[in-house]
Structure 1
Amino acid sequence: MDDRQFLNAFETYTLPFDEWTHRAHLRVAYLYASQFDLPTATDKMRAGIKAYNKATNTPEELERGYHETITVAFMQLVTAALQQSGPFPNSEAFCDTCAVSLNKPVLLKYYSKDRIISMKAKQIFVEPDLQPMPVIN
């Protein structure tokens, strides 16, 4: 699926749930970050994930559903990676290049496990407690 088809499938909730992987999250984040400033891209990502989760009946639990801090932090990391290493021809190329540095455990460089898996971090953005997030220009 090319980027246009992929983003359309996400935004119309037709992307199969089993294809809503970490890589898929990164693809959407990249597509928004490459088109919008960070606040707008983050707002679109936040709204998109919440709507997709609702459409796919994803339960809101501590370890499932929408997580504010993870969303905001990954938008910052994706934007920083795009600024440092981009541009890329498409979201797949971005993921192929940045997959290792943007794997799920990368947040543990910035957040202690207790902080990132807290209910507070799920509901509102909490700042990292181990080191600051990369600077966005």
Structure 2
Amino acid sequence: MTKDYAPRLFTGDDAVRHIGNGLVNCTLTRPEWTHEAHLAACLWIIVERPDIQPENDLPGIIRRFNESVGGVNDETQGYHETITQCFIRGVRRYLARTEEGGLSGRVNGLLLADEGQRGWPLRFYSRERLFSVEARLARVGPDLQPWP
């Protein structure tokens, strides 16, 4: 798997909304765009932005943000389709089974849950498949075990 990290939890709903709005509006700074921020933005979009369909819209939103902070989206860096789609599925799975109170409570619960762990996709994908050029550019199915 991957090294265990203690997640950086959110102090309140405004902190989550700052990340979500900052991603959509390309106003975040590059250092703010962490693993925790990715998951917070995804959960915020699902919960508070029904006008955004994460599976379809988040790829373009993330690519645009990456470019806005000087990043590149290509075969080796930037946006990763399979990881993004995997975590969208994980966020939806988490939300389906929890009723944590408040936006930040839900995000923090996700960050502490299995689906919020950095290495969660490696339960389904071999490292070789997940970090392949094919998986970065297009969604590929898991090769270790099917989705739950």
TM over 0.5: yes
Q: TM-score, normalised by structure 1?
A: 0.85
C-alpha distance 62-43 of structure 1, shift in aligned 2 (>3 A): same
Q: Is 2:100–2:109's contact at 8 Å kept on the other side of the alignment?
A: no
Does residue 120 (structure 1) correspond to residue 134 (structure 2)? The answer is yes
Residue 94 (structure 1) shift: 2.1
Corresponding residue SS for 1:69: helix
Does residue 51 (structure 1) correspond to residue 60 (structure 2)? The answer is no
Superposition pairs of residues 12-91 of structure 1, within 5 angstroms: 12-35=25-48, 40-86=53-99, 88-90=101-103
Residue 14 (structure 1) shift: 1.2
CA distance in 2, matches of 1:62, 1:104: 21
- How many residue pairs get aligned? The number is 132
> After superposition, what is the alpha-carbon deviation per residue over 1:71-129, rounded to whole angstroms, capped at 9, x for unaligned?
11100001100111135410x32232121311111111010111100000001000111
Q: Is 2:55–2:85's contact at 8 Å kept on the other side of the alignment?
A: yes
Q: Is 1:67–1:121's contact at 8 Å kept on the other side of the alignment?
A: yes
RMSD across aligned positions (CA): 2.1
Which moved further from structure 2: 40-49 or 67-76? 40-49
Partner AA of 1:133 in structure 2 = W
C-alpha distance 6-88 of structure 1, shift in aligned 2 (>3 A): same
CA distance in 1, matches of 2:146, 2:110: 19
Gaps of 5+ in 1: none
Residue 47 (structure 1) shift: 1.6
Runs of 4+ residues over 6 Å off in structure 1: none
Q: TM-score, normalised by structure 2?
A: 0.79
Partner AA of 1:83 in structure 2 = A
Partner AA of 2:72 in structure 1 = P
Aligned to 1:104: 118
CA distance in 1, matches of 2:120, 2:105: 19
Percent identity for Structure 1 against Structure 2: 28
Gaps of 5+ in 2: 1-12
Q: Is 1:32–1:44's contact at 8 Å kept on the other side of the alignment?
A: no
Corresponding residue SS for 1:79: helix
